[in-house]
A = this chain, B = another copy of it.
Amino acid sequence: MLFNGGFMLLSSLVSYIYKDGVSLQIFLAGLATLFLGAIAMVFTKNHTKEMNKREGYIVVSFGWIIMSLSGTLPYVFTESIPSFTNAFFETMSGYTTTGASILNDIEAVPKGVLFWRSLTHWIGGMGIIVLAIAILPLLGIGGMQLFAAEAPGPNADKLHPRITDTAKRLWLIYFGYTAAETLLLSAAGMSFFDAINHALCTLSTGGFSTKNASVAYWNSQPIIQYIIILFMFLAGTNFVLSYFAFKGKVQKVINDEEFKLYFKFVAIFTIIAALIIYFRADVSASSVNHPMVWGEGESAFRHALFQVLAIITTTGFVTADYTMWTPFLVVFFFGLMFLGGSAGSTSGGVKVVRHLILIKNGFLEFKRTLHPSAILPVRYNKRAISGDIVFNILGFFILYMLSFIIGSLGFSILGIEFKSAIGLAASTLGNVGPALGDYGPINNYAPLPSLGKWWASFLMLIGRLELFTVLILFTPFFWRNR
């Protein structure tokens, strides 16, 4: 709760600093948030610092919802988004770093509001880093223990004293990357305002853009796109590995099995997509303009790499309408929505480490079928993993699929056709952003019916909090014998 109060303080402070356009309203929103935050702080004071697991789930889930509620104020006060449903959707999409937007004309929105919008991503990203490092492993969420054990410094069992230490280190890297991207993008010819906004939305793997066309706006400036590509890649990497890299422990990065698989995924899928774009796709079929300033081959490579990274890291920026290329690439990118970046990054989705354990366990399962008496534990970074954690990861995966199916059913009952419905479910659950069909990369979420926006917000929330954290609140035994 203290933590949540701190976030509110920060957000109001920033909206206060950035009163560039017509932003007395944002200032007021900031004050209101500050006031609410202060009240929350007072209420929290009475609590002891120690919480039990049950309270943990409640605080994290409701904390996120309260944050999103207070985050709507700048939209509502400035009347940029008059409808409360839309404002809540946009804020939830911001904090969960989904980046799905209901704004039809982004460029008409006051700059202060746009900056606040990008900030919701960035704040969300900070929250996710802390969750991943310190909170979710304690709550026993599918496989996060694995990664937490790798984190610098504290031991997974008794984190309390050093949570803030680890978090501060990783936040510093997060902040540093954001500053670096802002500078590089400015140097490459972006306006400073666009540069800082895109940096905030890249490192958080959020994907809001200040342009209606998203990053496709800069299709004639490959350098800008390569800079964003670089930082998308970094944002989808475990921040702990970045920390090791800065400490000079490059060996640790190279030997990390999750990083290796993440790199392989990106490389292989980019090659497949690039070849298909080059040889098979009709690029002119899209309404997005693709000037091939550095030739057709480079263009195919760049758009393939950009889209693959944007989907795998769940950033959701767009430089091309991938639904217009070939039927294969539609299914391909739909499949990529289920990958996710690395654990300990700001990306959403299932996460590479879980896929790694699934793949390894799958192979072992074949071996176990053949030799039922052999004991074959899954190994990760050279250590044998306890069966419980593998079990937990398998359970997570199945819960993810179930949520996806129920998510799709929820959209389709509102009259949304098949492809759009399952695209929406995959995209919101994985915090990707763009979906398929009527909600594809060149569309937005404005046409979604109100109920659909609330459903999408719910899916974004559960996806972001690794399912268990929220869904456990819906189990009957959770509320029994406290």
Q: Does the CB pair B362–A331 fall under 8 Å? A: no
How many copies, total?
Answer: 2
Name the B residues within 8 Å of A399 (CB-CB): 362, 365
A21 within 8 A of B: no
For the side of the interface on A, what is the size category?
Answer: 35 or more
A285 within 8 A of B: no
Q: Mark A376-417, 1 if CB is under 8 A from B, else 0.
A: 000000000001101110110111011001001101110111
Name the B residues within 8 Å of A413 (CB-CB): 328
Min CB distance, A305 to chain B, in Å? Answer: 20
Q: Which of A387, A391, A415, A416 has the most CB of B within 10 A?
A: A391
Look across to chain B and name the residue whose beta carbon is closest to the beta carbon of A370: B53
A141 within 8 A of B: yes
Q: Does the CB pair A331–B409 fall under 8 Å? A: yes
Query: A395's contact among B334, B365, B411, B422, by CB below 8 Å, is which?
Result: B365
Quick one: which of A331-351 are within 8 Å of B by CB?
Answer: 331-332, 334-335, 338
A418 within 8 A of B: yes
Interface stretch (choices A217-225, A443-451, A471-479)? A471-479
Q: Does the CB pair B331–A412 fall under 8 Å? A: yes
A419 within 8 A of B: yes
Quick one: which of A348-388 are within 8 Å of B by CB?
Answer: 358, 361-363, 365-370, 372, 387-388
Docked pose: A139 CA to B369 CA in angstroms: 7
Tell me whether chain A's interface is mostly helix, strand or loop, or mixed.
helix
Min CB distance, A145 to chain B, in Å? Answer: 10
A330 within 8 A of B: yes
Name the B residues within 8 Å of A92 (CB-CB): none
Quick one: which of A59-99 are within 8 Å of B by CB?
Answer: none
A140 within 8 A of B: yes
Q: Does the CB pair A419–B419 fall under 8 Å? A: yes
A169 within 8 A of B: no
Look across to chain B and name the residue whose beta carbon is closest to the beta carbon of A413: B328
Q: Does the CB pair A369–B327 fall under 8 Å? A: no
Min CB distance, A142 to chain B, in Å? Answer: 9
Docked pose: A338 CA to B369 CA in angstroms: 23
Q: Which of A327, A338, A392 has the most CB of B within 10 A?
A: A327
Query: A418's contact among B141, B330, B369, B478, by CB below 8 Å, is which?
Result: B330
A421 within 8 A of B: yes
Min CB distance, A330 to chain B, in Å? Answer: 5
Docked pose: A419 CA to B422 CA in angstroms: 10
Q: Does the CB pair B140–A372 fall under 8 Å? A: yes
Query: A335's contact among B141, B394, B405, by CB below 8 Å, is which?
Result: B405
A242 within 8 A of B: no
Docked pose: A401 CA to B359 CA in angstroms: 13
Min CB distance, A373 to chain B, in Å? Answer: 11
Name the B residues within 8 Å of A208 (CB-CB): none
A160 within 8 A of B: no
A468 within 8 A of B: yes
Q: Does the CB pair B395–A361 fall under 8 Å? A: yes
A436 within 8 A of B: yes
Name the B residues within 8 Å of A289 (CB-CB): none
Min CB distance, A387 to chain B, in Å? Answer: 7
Name the B residues within 8 Å of A140 (CB-CB): 368-370, 372
Q: Does the CB pair A408–B331 fall under 8 Å? A: yes
The 8 lowest CB-CB distance pairs between A and B, nearest first, are A331-B412, A365-B395, A394-B394, A328-B413, A328-B412, A140-B369, A327-B417, A327-B412
* 20 A-B contacts (beta carbon < 8 Å): A54-B370, A141-B369, A327-B415, A327-B416, A328-B413, A328-B415, A331-B412, A331-B418, A338-B405, A362-B395, A366-B475, A370-B477, A372-B388, A387-B391, A390-B391, A391-B391, A394-B394, A394-B395, A398-B398, A418-B436
Other A-B pairs, 18, CB within 8 Å; known A141-B369, A361-B395, A394-B395: A54-B370, A139-B369, A140-B368, A140-B369, A327-B412, A328-B415, A330-B412, A331-B411, A331-B422, A332-B412, A358-B398, A362-B402, A365-B399, A366-B477, A367-B477, A368-B388, A369-B392, A372-B388
